[in-house]
């Protein structure tokens, strides 16, 4: 299959792309978080094609993207008040909410679960495409399974060219890590994946929110509640270690490792420390005072390390306040929770 690539801005006519979706084809498109790989959420064959194109296990449910609040009616009759309050505060935006679904939504889309994950993205191209494509687009991140999520159309082309009908190039995304996922189907809302919308931001609107305890540390027998968080994705090809502790200890220990390591090394660090490393390919993620820059650069840096054949990655750690929690969750997952505490205690 030849993959057509089109450039788009907010005024581009997306009728043709919408037709592809309606006919059961796949279109990758920009959102504010990462690029998504879209198909008609109500067409089980489209969802099967999404799994096949990504090489993704089919028990890992997809997020259904909508463009209007009225679209909720076809998804659920059991919509909690908290969804409306959070939608009012954060939609369109980087928040996915899980609720009980209606039987019409094919199990191919929801991985056989009785719940559905829903998001209204904050991106003009995404919103136009959803409308042109019939209102309900199932879309995981548009990377091959196991690769970092795409923040540029070229990342999508690298992973999925020849496997999907179209890629809409809307330039670099704004946020760079996937949406926050909050499960509203149980007693107490629970964050299944941290993102740009933090626990504190959610709590200000709906009161107490729990966080899946397996997201930030390796737990004995602990299983993340979102199926997709169980796989070691966001994974670079090289080995990766994260160093915690006082900043000067971290840079000293990474320099020590760099000097003794014979394999090709990469360093992921903040702007402030970038000049301190003596060897290796240095990728600065951004200033520690600007966690949104750090979030935007993580996946791109990991892909660049892959492209350059980096075999060992050393990463600094970041404070887990606010957006830092989502940043550290992605780094920890990329490293398979391989952490070295430079203070010596475990």
Burial class (CB in 10 A: 0-12, 13-18, 19+), 318: buried
* CA dist list (Å): 255 to 243, 283, 340: 12, 15, 14
Mask 285-314, x = binds Mg ion (CB under 5 A)?
A: ------------------------------
Instruction: Read off the tokens for 103.
Output: 């039987």
Binding of ligand TXA by 60 (CB under 6 A):
yes
324 vs 327: CA distance, rounded Å: 5
Does 53 engage in binding with ligand TXA (CB under 6 A)?
no
| Binding to Mg ion in span 89-118, by CB under 5 A | none
Task: Work out the widest C-alpha separation in the chain, in whole angstroms.
Answer: 61
- Contact track, ligand TXA, 298-327, x by CB under 6 A: ------------------------------
| Eight-state DSSP code of residue 69 | G
Q: What's the min distance (Å) between Cβ of 261 and ligand TXA?
A: 32
Q: How many CB atoms lie within 10 A of CB 178?
A: 26
Q: DSSP letters along 36-56, please? A: EEEEETT-HHHHHHHHHHHT-
Q: Which stretch binds ligand TXA (CB under 6 A): 7-15, 178-186, 241-249, 301-309?
A: 178-186
Least Cβ distance, residue 124 to Mg ion (angstroms): 22
Residue 328's H or E segment, with its range, is: helix 324-334
Within 8 A by CB and 6+ apart from 209, the residues are: 182, 188, 189, 190, 191, 199, 202, 203
Is 98 among the residues that bind ligand TXA (CB under 6 A)? Answer: yes
Q: Please state the closest distance from residue 158 (CB atom) to Mg ion, in A.
A: 15
| Residue 18 binding target from Mg ion, ligand TXA, none, CB below 5 to 8 Å by type | none
Task: Quote the least distance from Cβ 233 to ligand TXA, whole Å.
Answer: 8
Sheet holding 239-244, edge to edge: 281-284, 265-269, 312-316, 239-244, 339-341
Query: Which one of residues 18, 25, 36, 148 is an interface residue with ligand TXA (CB under 6 A)?
Result: 36
What H or E segment, with its residue span, contains residue 183?
Answer: strand 180-183
- Contact string 123-142 vs Mg ion (x = CB under 5 A): ------------------x-
- What residues numbered 216-255 form the site for ligand TXA, per CB under 6 A? 226-229
The answer to whether 28 contacts ligand TXA (rule: CB under 6 A) is: no
Residues that bind ligand TXA (CB under 6 A): 31, 33-34, 36, 60-63, 96, 98, 110, 113, 115-117, 119, 121, 139-141, 178-179, 181, 192, 226-229
Q: Which residues are near Mg ion by CB under 5 A? A: 141
């Amino acid at each position: 299959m030849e993959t057509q690539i089109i450039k788009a801005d907010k005024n581009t006519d997306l009728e043709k792309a919408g037709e592809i979706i309606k006919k059961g084809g796949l279109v990758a498109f920009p959102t504010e978080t990462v690029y998504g790989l879209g198909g008609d959420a109500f067409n089980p064959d489209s969802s099967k094609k999404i799994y096949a194109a990504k090489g993704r296990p089919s028990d890992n449910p997809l997020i259904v993207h909508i463009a209007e609040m009225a679209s909720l009616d076809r998804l659920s009759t059991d919509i909690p008040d908290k969804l409306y309050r959070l939608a009012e505060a954060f939609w369109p935006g980087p928040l996915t909410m899980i609720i009980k679904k209606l039987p019409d939504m094919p199990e191919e889309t929801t991985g056989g679960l009785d719940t559905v994950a829903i998001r209204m993205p904050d991106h003009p191209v995404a919103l136009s495409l959803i409308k042109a494509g019939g209102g309900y687009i199932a879309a995981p991140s548009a990377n091959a399974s196991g690769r970092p999520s795409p923040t540029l159309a070229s990342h999508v082309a690298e992973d999925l060219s020849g496997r999907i009908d179209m890629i809409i190039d809307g330039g670099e995304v704004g946020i760079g890590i996937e949406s926050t996922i909050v499960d509203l189907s149980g007693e107490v809302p629970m964050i299944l994946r941290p993102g740009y919308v933090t626990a504190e931001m959610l709590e200000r609107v709906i009161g107490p929110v729990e966080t899946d305890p397996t997201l930030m540390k390796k737990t004995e027998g602990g299983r993340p509640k979102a199926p997709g968080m169980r796989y070691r994705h966001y994974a670079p090809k090289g080995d990766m270690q994260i160093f915690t502790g006082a900043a000067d200890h971290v840079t000293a220990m990474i320099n020590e490792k760099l000097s003794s390591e014979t394999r090709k090394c990469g360093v992921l660090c903040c702007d402030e420390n970038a000049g301190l490393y003596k060897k290796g390919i240095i990728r600065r993620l951004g200033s520690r005072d600007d966690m949104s820059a750090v979030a935007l650069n993580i996946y791109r840096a990991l892909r660049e390390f892959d492209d350059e054949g980096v075999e060992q990655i050393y990463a600094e750690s970041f404070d887990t306040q606010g957006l830092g929690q989502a940043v550290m969750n992605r780094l920890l997952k990329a490293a398979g929770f391989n952490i070295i505490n430079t203070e010596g205690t475990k």
